[in-house]
């Protein structure tokens, strides 16, 4: 039946695997039982350990990690199977007992597998359900991208595997990714569905597997249904076996779960009531004791080593494969099948019974081979031989790609940052350096409208198999040359923004997954960051490295419509961990930031903050550039190293305030012309007005917070960039801050050195109109800035101030 040549076909190996399965289940349960960090419910019982949710994957993960997986394969383990994962790594020697004892605690093994916080070789973080699943799909596409470009061919191709909860498939992002996988010719991808027919609150709908089967087949996947275990398969061959199979097939999910929970006597009663008195099948039932009957009925495919091994070893690498594995939530534990078991924890008594059943002596709970039948030496030598152990640790590294000292761009007298971005990439695209070859761009159907067109014309679109541009072939003139080839450097996505961020997450981990560095850039409209926000957060959480360029942004997109105005995104940029955010006003600033960004996304150094700006620049991270389509007059100036540094640190004096300064205008981004004009208009009536250009509220704020913390720890001389900039501004001076985004982005500036602040920005949205209409309507135009200055820095009336609308 099997084409497999797996070692696991050997009887001895199956015995070893069965023993390890038992041990994995024990260790995971013990780890959770011991965790000191679980919530207590109203009855004082601890909850939240997810013992049941873990247990349903014990068999499948034993088969994978101790037999099927090879060092080049990568896995996303469903969040609640974390204890099983850590137990397996403990047996493989990659996880310490101390960390298992501190499971869910400070610096202990993580509640959900974490690439960045766990130490035991987690390939992909999980937690927010659905995202780890899509990550495997995009990682497989990334592997194809890397290999198509001729990189990493010395290494064998890996399979990207997701262990998926059945209720996890409710998450829409999974289906968005499926569509993309189909378009891009996905291979080497396995999704193993833990079909325990239970979610957190509920038992899943009947017949869901049939929908899944159809769906996956429609997208070109192979589907393997692993429903019956080998005991069941043998019983079906007995006289009366077909009747039993029919009964199992027709049994509702709720009832099956309930009977699993209730045990052998309940199975017998129910089966006798429903299919008894039929001769053969009655005898089939009678021949078995209660325990044997329960073992038979619980022997679903996903808990049967031979069945899962057979399914895995027969998969075709050229096709993505979905395995629908029937399992029981809490398999092998006293609350198996109970619908309330999701966060349930075994009581101390249940745990004690379980300990005895596992043959574990008190005080030997952490012993790796305690209570197992094959001798410890045999199991230990088996563990040394398992294929995945040959390649540990599996984290790879890639050298940094050199970045030019300056990114050249011809600056037009009037230009938008979005145009500047396109022009900078176009310049990079001319060259054939390692730097330009390692850049990969992607966009969810907004390639042209975010100005990536010229770059794509030069570098081409990526596809594993070449496709000609029909318009070009038919000699129909077009601005864009859209040829797909395996050497192309732009991955064109459908509109789904979730896919953009998960793809960036996969591309941005290529150096550690594939050992080949990529410099990924993704573009989208700024408001749609919110659409993919959880995926962006996920990408940052796993420390993927990329540049996301969001444009157009704010109300500045004016006539394009109220629905697309972004307000909260600057605050997202300020708050998102792992993402350094910038909003330059001028193209020379953008060029300086991008040059720095290409280096920053490749850094992997010490996390101690630099004493200069109190930022953790050596650790690196990802980048968010909020750009605008508004053409503004550019400044003719020499870009000095000092100015470059200040732009990257987050701010510089566009006009330094004098000693008698009464008011400072601090602006960010596209409103620069209004800020400059306002400063000019008030010059006659307010003394020494200062103009502060803020290129990154995020970095200014982060440096300020870190410097304060450093001072509180005794480093009295710690000063951040913004503290130095504001040091000489008299305390009586007021600050008017302004940006096309939420005013809170810059409102904190007043707390740095005790200045009053009037923060201007946008709090409401939805109005269409010309740029002038909207700036006036929302109060970020020149006159609004002057009015705010007059209010915050009293003095003689500012003569150019007009009445506010
Ligand atoms: C995006 C997101 N929403 C909600 C949750 C909370 N949550 C964790 S597990 C779970 C249900 C899991 O059911 P299933 O995928 O079937 O896994 P099982 O526990 O049955 O193995 C939910 C709703 C989450 N982790 N992520
Ligand atoms: Mg489930």
According to DSSP, the residues that pair with 757 across neighbouring strands are 735
What spatial distance separates the first Cα and last Cα of the chain, rounded to whole Å? Answer: 81
What Cα–Cα distance (Å) separates residue 356 from each residue in 289, 295, 349, 359, 362?
Answer: 21, 19, 11, 5, 9
**For residues 462 and 146, what is the distance between their CA atoms, to the nearest angstrom?**
11
Residue 200 alpha carbon to ligand 1 centre in Å: 6
Q: Closest ligand 1 atom to the C-alpha of 166?
A: 16
**For residues 509 and 542, is the Cβ–Cβ distance under 8 A?**
yes
Confidence of residue 1 (pLDDT cuts 50, 70, 90): very low
Residue 604 tokens read as 């992997």
Please tell me if the CB atom of residue 168 comes closer than 6 angstroms to any atom of ligand 1: yes
Task: Specify the pLDDT at position 4.
Answer: 44
327 CB near ligand 1 (under 6 Å): no
Residue 112 burial class via C-beta count within 10 angstroms: exposed 0-12, middle 13-18, buried 19 and up: buried
Q: Does the beta carbon of 197 sit less than 6 angstroms from any atom of ligand 1? A: no
Residue 664 CA to residue 667 CA, distance in Å, equals 10
The larger pLDDT score, comparing residue 309 to residue 345, is at 309
| Cβ neighbours for 262, distance < 8 A, ≥ 6 positions apart | none
The response to whether residue 129 sits with its C-beta less than 6 Å from ligand 1 reads yes
CA distance 634 to 407: 17
State the ligand closest to the CA atom of 131: 1
State the Cα–Cα distance between residues 267 and 263, nearest whole angstrom. 6
Residue 5: per-residue pLDDT? 43
Q: 336 CB less than 6 Å from ligand 1?
A: no
Nearest CA to ligand 1 atom 12: 199
User: By the 8 A CB rule, do 520 and 440 touch?
Assistant: yes
- For residue 3, pLDDT beyond 60: no
Give me 605's structure tokens. Answer: 């150094």
Which ligand 1 atom is nearest residue 342's CA?
19
Residue 598 Cα to ligand 2 midpoint, Å, equals: 42
pLDDT at 2: 41
Mutate to test the pocket of ligand 1, among 50, 55, 163, 165 (most ligand atoms within 8 A of CB): 165
SS3 670: helix
* pTM, 2 dp: 0.95
pLDDT at 397 over 50: yes
Which ligand 1 atom is at minimum distance from the Cα of 131? 1
Q: Is 80 in the pocket of ligand 1 (CB under 6 A)?
A: yes
3-state secondary structure of 754: coil
Average pLDDT of the chain, as a whole number? 93
For 542-594, give the DSSP string. Answer: TT---EEEE-S-SGGGGGG-GGG--SSHHHHHHH-TTEEEE--SSHHHHHHHH
Is any atom of ligand 1 closer than 6 Å to the C-beta of 128?
yes
Confidence of residue 278 (pLDDT cuts 50, 70, 90): confident
User: For residue 81, which atom of ligand 1 is closest to its CA?
Assistant: 21
Q: What pLDDT was estimated at residue 49?
A: 60
Asked if residue 490 has its Cβ within 6 Å of ligand 1, the reply is no
Residue of the nearest CA to atom 13 in ligand 1?
Answer: 199
Percent of the chain with pLDDT over 90: 80
Per-residue pLDDT at 40: 67
Pick the closest to residue 506 from 82, 110, 125, 117 (CA basis). 125
3-class secondary structure, 647: helix
56 lines ligand 1 (CB under 6 A): yes
Sorted by sequence, the CB contacts under 8 Å of residue 154 that are 6+ apart come out as: none
What mean pLDDT comes out for the span 92-108?
Answer: 94
- Tokens 């968005």 identify what position? 176
Mutate to test the pocket of ligand 1, among 81, 167, 198 (most ligand atoms within 8 A of CB): 167
199 alpha carbon – ligand 1 mean position (Å): 6
361 C-beta neighbours (distance < 10 Å), count:
11
Q: Which atom of ligand 1 is nearest to the CA of 194?
A: 21
Ligand 1 in reach of 82 Cβ (< 6 A): no
- pLDDT of 222 reads 97
User: Are 356 and 368 spatial neighbours (Cβ–Cβ below 8 Å)?
Assistant: no
pLDDT at 38: 62
Ligand 1 atom closest to the CA of 171, numbered from 1: 1
Identify which of 54, 129, 204, 324 to mutate to test ligand 1's pocket (most ligand atoms within 8 A of the CB): 129
Closest Cα to atom 9, ligand 1: which residue?
200
Residue 24 CA to residue 140 CA, distance in Å, equals 29
CB-ligand 1 contact for 54 (6 Å cutoff): no
Quick check: CB of 200 below 6 Å from ligand 1? Answer: yes
CA of residue 698 to ligand 2 center, whole Å: 40
| Smallest CA separation from ligand 1 atom 25, residue | 128
pLDDT score at 46: 60
Pairing of β 622-626 and β 46-47 = unpaired
Confidence of residue 42 (pLDDT cuts 50, 70, 90): low
**Atom number of ligand 1 nearest to Cα 57:** 21
**C-alpha 539 – ligand 1 centre gap (Å):** 19
Please state which of the ranges 7-11, 237-241, 468-472, 594-598 shows the lowest mean pLDDT.
7-11
Each residue of 758-779: pLDDT tens digit? 999 999 988 889 999 999 999 9
Q: What is the mean pLDDT of residues 519-547?
A: 98
pLDDT on residue 7: 47
707 and 536 Cβ atoms separated by less than 8 Å: no
Ligand 2 centre distance from Cα of residue 52 (Å): 10
534 burial via Cβ count (<10 Å: 0-12, 13-18, 19+): middle
**200 CA distance to ligand 2 centroid (A)?**
7
Angle at 639 between CA 634 and CA 643, to 5 degrees: 105
Which atom from ligand 1 is nearest to the alpha carbon of 130? Answer: 1
The dihedral over CA atoms of 19, 24, 30, 33, expressed in degrees to the nearest 10, equals -140
Residue 158 DSSP symbol: P
Look at residue 47 in the predicted model and tell me its pLDDT: 59
- Distance CA(173)–CA(499), nearest Å, equals 7
Interatomic CA distance for residues 298 and 84, integer angstroms: 20
Specify burial of residue 645 (Cβ count, 10 A radius: 0-12, 13-18, 19+). middle
CA dist., res. 671 & res. 679, Å (int): 13
Cβ 342 under 6 angstroms from ligand 1: yes
Q: In the 8-state DSSP scheme, what is residue 318?
A: T
Kindly give the distance from the C-alpha atom of residue 207 to the centroid of ligand 1, in angstroms, as a whole number: 20
Say yes or no to pLDDT of 125 above 70.
yes
In this prediction, residues 659-682 reach a mean pLDDT of 97
Give the model's pLDDT for residue 182. 96
Beta strand 632-633 with 414-415: parallel, antiparallel or unpaired? Answer: antiparallel
Helix (H, G, I), strand (E, B) or coil at 456: helix
**Is the C-beta atom of 53 inside 6 A of ligand 1?**
yes
Higher pLDDT, 643 or 279: 643
pLDDT of 706 over the 50 cut: yes
3-state secondary structure 278-308: CCHHHHHHHCCCHHHHHHHHHCEHHHCHHHH
Collect all residues with Cβ–Cβ distance below 8 Å to 96 and sequence separation of at least 6.
90, 119
Cα 83 to middle of ligand 1, angstroms: 15
Asked whether 646 lines ligand 1 (CB < 6 A), one says: no
pLDDT by residue (tens digit) across 321-376? 999 999 988 888 887 777 777 667 888 888 999 999 999 999 999 999 999 999 99
SS3 annotation, 204-258: CCCCHHHHHHHHHHHCCCEEEEECECHHHHHHHHCCCHHHHHHHHHHCCHHHHHH
């Amino acid at each position: 039946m099997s084409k497999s040549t797996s070692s696991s076909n050997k009887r001895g190996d199956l015995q070893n695997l069965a023993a390890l399965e038992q041990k994995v289940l024990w260790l995971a349960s013990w780890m959770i039982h011991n965790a000191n960090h679980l919530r207590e419910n109203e009855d004082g019982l601890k909850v939240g350990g997810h013992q049941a949710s873990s247990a349903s994957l014990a068999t499948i993960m034993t088969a994978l990690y101790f037999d099927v997986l090879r060092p080049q394969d990568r896995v996303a383990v469903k969040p609640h199977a974390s204890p099983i994962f850590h137990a397996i790594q403990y047996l493989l020697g990659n996880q310490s007992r101390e960390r298992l004892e501190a499971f869910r605690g400070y610096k202990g093994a993580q509640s959900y597998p974490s690439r960045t916080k766990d130490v035991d070789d987690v390939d992909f973080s999980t937690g927010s359900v659905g995202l780890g699943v899509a990550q495997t799909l995009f990682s497989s596409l990334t592997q194809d991208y890397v290999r198509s470009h001729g990189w990493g061919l010395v290494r064998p191709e890996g399979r990207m595997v997701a262990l998926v909860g059945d209720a996890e498939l409710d998450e829409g992002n999974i289906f968005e990714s499926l569509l993309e996988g189909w378009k891009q010719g996905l291979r080497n991808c396995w999704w193993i569905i833990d079909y325990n027919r239970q979610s957190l609150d509920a038992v899943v709908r009947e017949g869901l597997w049939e929908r899944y089967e159809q769906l996956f087949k429609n997208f070109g996947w192979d589907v393997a249904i692993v429903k019956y275990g080998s005991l069941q398969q043998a019983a079906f061959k007995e006289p009366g076996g077909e009747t039993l199979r029919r009964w199992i097939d027709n049994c509702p999910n709720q009832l099956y779960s309930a009977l699993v929970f209730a045990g052998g006597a309940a199975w017998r009663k129910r089966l006798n009531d429903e299919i008894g008195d039929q001769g053969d099948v009655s005898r089939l039932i009678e021949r078995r004791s209660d325990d044997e009957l329960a073992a038979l009925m619980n022997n679903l495919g996903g808990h049967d080593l031979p069945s899962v091994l057979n399914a895995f070893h027969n998969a075709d690498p050229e096709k993505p494969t979905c395995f629908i594995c029937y399992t029981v939530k809490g398999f092998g534990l006293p609350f198996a099948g109970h619908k309330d078991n999701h966060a349930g924890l075994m009581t101390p008594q249940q745990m004690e019974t379980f300990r005895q059943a596992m043959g574990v002596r008190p005080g030997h709970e952490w012993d790796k081979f305690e209570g197992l039948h094959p001798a410890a030496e045999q199991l230990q030598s088996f563990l040394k031989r398992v294929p995945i152990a040959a390649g540990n640790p599996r984290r790879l590294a890639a050298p940094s790609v050199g970045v030019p000292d300056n990114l050249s761009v011809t600056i037009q007298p009037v230009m938008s940052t979005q145009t500047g971005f396109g022009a900078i990439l176009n310049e990079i695209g001319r060259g054939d350096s390692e730097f330009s070859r390692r850049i990969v761009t992607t966009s969810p159907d907004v390639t042209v409208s975010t100005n990536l067109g010229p770059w794509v014309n030069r570098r081409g679109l990526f596809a594993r198999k070449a496709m000609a541009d029909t318009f070009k072939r038919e000699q129909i003139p077009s601005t864009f040359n859209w040829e797909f080839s395996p050497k192309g450097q732009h991955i064109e996505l459908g509109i789904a923004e979730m896919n953009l961020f998960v793809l960036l997450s996969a591309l941005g981990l290529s150096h550690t997954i594939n050992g080949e560095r990529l410099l990924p850039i993704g573009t989208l409209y700024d408001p749609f960051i919110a659409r993919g926000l959880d995926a962006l957060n996920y990408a940052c959480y796993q420390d993927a490295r990329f540049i996301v360029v969001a444009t157009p942004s704010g109300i500045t997109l004016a006539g394009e419509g109220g629905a697309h105005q972004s307000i909260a995104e600057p605050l997202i940029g300020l708050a998102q961990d792992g993402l350094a955010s910038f909003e330059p006003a001028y193209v020379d600033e953008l060029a300086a930031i991008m040059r720095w960004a290409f280096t920053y996304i490749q850094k992997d150094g010490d996390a101690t903050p630099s004493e200069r700006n109190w930022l953790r620049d050596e650790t690196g991270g990802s980048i968010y550039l909020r750009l605008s389509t508004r053409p503004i007059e550019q400044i003719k100036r020499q870009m000095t190293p000092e100015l470059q540094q200040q732009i990257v640190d987050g701010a510089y004096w566009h006009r330094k305030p004098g000693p008698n300064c009464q008011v400072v205008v601090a602006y960010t981004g596209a409103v620069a012309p209004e800020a400059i004009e306002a400063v000019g208009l008030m010059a006659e009536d307010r003394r020494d007005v200062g103009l502060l250009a803020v290129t990154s509220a995020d970095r200014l704020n982060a440096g300020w917070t870190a410097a304060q913390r450093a001072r509180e720890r005794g480093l009295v001389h710690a000063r951040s960039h913004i503290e130095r900039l504001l040091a000489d501004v008299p305390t009586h001076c007021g600050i008017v801050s302004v940006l096309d985004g939420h005013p809170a982005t810059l409102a904190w500036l007043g707390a740095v050195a005790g200045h009053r602040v009037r923060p201007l920005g946008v709090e409401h949205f939805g109005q269409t109109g010309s740029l002038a209409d909207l700036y006036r309507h929302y109060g970020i135009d020149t006159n609004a800035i002057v009015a705010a200055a007059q209010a915050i820095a009293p003095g003689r009336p500012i003569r150019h101030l007009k009445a506010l609308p």
